[in-house]
Chain A
Amino acid sequence: MDIIKLIGIGISGAVAAIVLKEYKPAYAVCLGIITSAVIFLLTLSEINYVFDVIGTISQKLSLDASYIKTIIRIIGIAYLSHFGSEICRDAGQNAIAQKIEFAGKVMIIAASIPILTAVLNLLIGILPT
């Protein structure tokens, strides 16, 4: 799916949302959600392609698969929390958007704990005791 088509979809969604915002703001928010969802779903094949390549490269370099998996998980959490918080900001709810971003950060830290412990163990092992 080339970028021109995606930009066209986004702009037409935005224009439709502006038209609706004047009469029924609720529909404009729904339109915003749907347009962003459709744009993400249309870029799905490229995302799959990139992650497959990352997977094969990490296997070739015999990196630990769990680290790559954690990185991809963190990317997913970051994307989802950004998706949710921007939609809340579109709807004018800045407080809720901040809370979603805060929750996303907490989840990311929680997901990265194993890597942190691994690094710390490595450091402790190196330091001359």
Chain B
Amino acid sequence: MGVELIFKIAAIGIVVSVLNQVLIRSGREEQAMMTTLAGLIVVLLMMLNEISYLFQTIKTIFNL
């Protein structure tokens, strides 16, 4: 239900950091910054669904 999400996000983080290093070494700092931001946005979007589901569930259970 969400366990694979943890490792998906970890994988994206590692891939982005490796990509970042490669781009920096090859002299393209701006693109490295862009890829980091793009990766972060992807992670945040994936996290968004899980968090909204969590808060919805909490709202129904604790009838807040």
Contact = CB atoms under 8 A, between A and B. Distances in A.
B5 A38 contact: yes
Interface in B9-49: 9-10, 12-14, 16-17, 20, 36, 39-40, 43-44, 47
Contacts of B14: 19-20, 23
Contacts of B1: 38, 41-42
Nearest to A76: B62
A40 B54 contact: yes
Interface residues of B, number: 31
Secondary structure call for the A interface:
helix
Interface of B: 1-3, 5-7, 9-10, 12-14, 16-17, 20, 36, 39-40, 43-44, 47, 50-51, 53-55, 57-58, 61-64
Which 10 pairs between the two chains have the least Cβ-Cβ distance?
Answer: A76-B62, A27-B13, A23-B17, A38-B2, A16-B10, A20-B13, A37-B54, A13-B6, A30-B43, A76-B64
